[in-house]
Amino acid sequence: MQVITSKDNELVKTIKKLKEKKYRDATGKYIIEGAKLIEEAIQEKANIETIVVCEDCMKEDTLCKKLVYEIAKENIVYVSSNVFNTMTDVSNPQGILAVIKRAEKTQKINYKEDVIIVLDGIQDPGNLGTILRTVDSANIKQIIVSEETADVFNSKVVRSTMGAIFRVNVIRSENLVDDLMKMKDNGFDIVVTALDTNESIYDVNYMKKVIVIGNEANGVSEEIKEIADKKVKIPMLGKTESLNASVAAGIMIYEYVRNKLSLK
């Protein structure tokens, strides 16, 4: 097999550029890394442009035979370990990554869903990825994110989704307040978390609701709170005053799941 050993190879330089958001946006491509994510990409029929394999992985048989068989059907490029290490963002890489072409998903909100999850300025990539994974686990097919929310195709976000990135339609809102008003016009009530309320998240039926998760430091913006139909808080029995954004999102999403199951 032919192995790329130069860090100045044009393909290598092109893939490395995808670490930056501006190049991901310009090309409509992003990087996934690790055997599990690549297995998910193949299973979900993602548009895999190139798979890059470190030659040491093939020599040491670190990839399972099933995956080796599957990736053999794709466009594979082999690189030396030194070259691969310039392309990866992972501390202990598995020696395999892929360039994915973004799916042509609609940017129109689907109002036929039972619940809509909205992220208002989530900044931490790990939080964003975990929320996407939780949304996927609840079989919610879309999520709306504000312009201020972290890039969903950031490599850390992608890894944190554990494959949900291929199944959940992420819609980036250019004007979140306007889009929330449209959701209200389509029969949804807006639910936000806030400290200045006595209502609990357990007092809400989450069918036909918009659940807004706010920024890690500042919570939901005041402008959105003003148009909310309901303010709720997560009851806490201990001294902690707030929860991690992804934890709070998970609790509320699974209240929707509980409501959904109660209807069966």
DSSP letters spanning 119-147: EES---HHHHHHHHHHHHHTT--EEEEET
In this prediction, residue 1 carries a pLDDT of: 65
In this prediction, residue 94 carries a pLDDT of: 87
Task: Examine the pLDDT at 167 and tell me if it is beyond 90.
Answer: yes
| Torsion angles phi and psi, residue 101, rounded to 5 | -85, 130
Distances from the Cα of 159 to the Cα of 26, 147, 154, angstroms: 21, 21, 9
In this prediction, residue 61 carries a pLDDT of: 66
Structure tokens, 80: 């030396």
| Confidence tier at 80 by pLDDT (50, 70, 90) | very high
Task: Examine the pLDDT at 60 and tell me if it is beyond 80.
Answer: no
pTM of the model: 0.91
Tell me how far apart the alpha carbons of residues 64 and 2 are, in angstroms, rounded to a whole number: 21
* Amino acid identity at 126: G
| Confidence tier at 65 by pLDDT (50, 70, 90) | confident
In this prediction, residue 196 carries a pLDDT of: 83
Evaluate the CA torsion angle 93, 94, 100, 103 in order and state its sign. negative
In this prediction, residue 92 carries a pLDDT of: 85
Q: What integer is the mean pLDDT of 16-32?
A: 95
Tell me how far apart the alpha carbons of residues 248 and 169 are, in angstroms, rounded to a whole number: 21
Strand order in the sheet with 29-33: 3-4, 76-79, 47-54, 96-101, 29-33
Please report how many Cα atoms fall inside a 13 Å half-sphere around the Cα of residue 103, on the Cβ side. 14
Please report how many Cα atoms fall inside a 13 Å half-sphere around the Cα of residue 180, on the Cβ side. 27
Q: How do beta strands 47-54 and 142-146 pair? A: unpaired
Task: Examine the pLDDT at 59 and tell me if it is beyond 80.
Answer: no
In this prediction, residue 105 carries a pLDDT of: 80
> Which residue did the predictor score with more confidence, 57 or 109?
109
Helix (H, G, I), strand (E, B) or coil at 178: helix
For the segment 202-259, what is each residue's pLDDT rounded down to a tens digit?
999 999 999 999 998 888 999 999 999 999 999 988 988 778 899 999 999 999 999 9
Element spanning 79, H or E: strand 76-79
Q: What integer is the mean pLDDT of 120-133?
A: 96
In this prediction, residue 231 carries a pLDDT of: 94
> Which residue did the predictor score with more confidence, 79 or 104?
79
Which structural domains are found in the chain, ordered by start?
Answer: 3-101 (3.30.1330.30), 115-262 (3.40.1280.10)
Element spanning 209, H or E: strand 209-214
For the segment 91-116, what is each residue's pLDDT rounded down to a tens digit?
888 889 999 999 888 789 999 999 99
Tell me how far apart the alpha carbons of residues 191 and 211 are, in angstroms, rounded to a whole number: 5
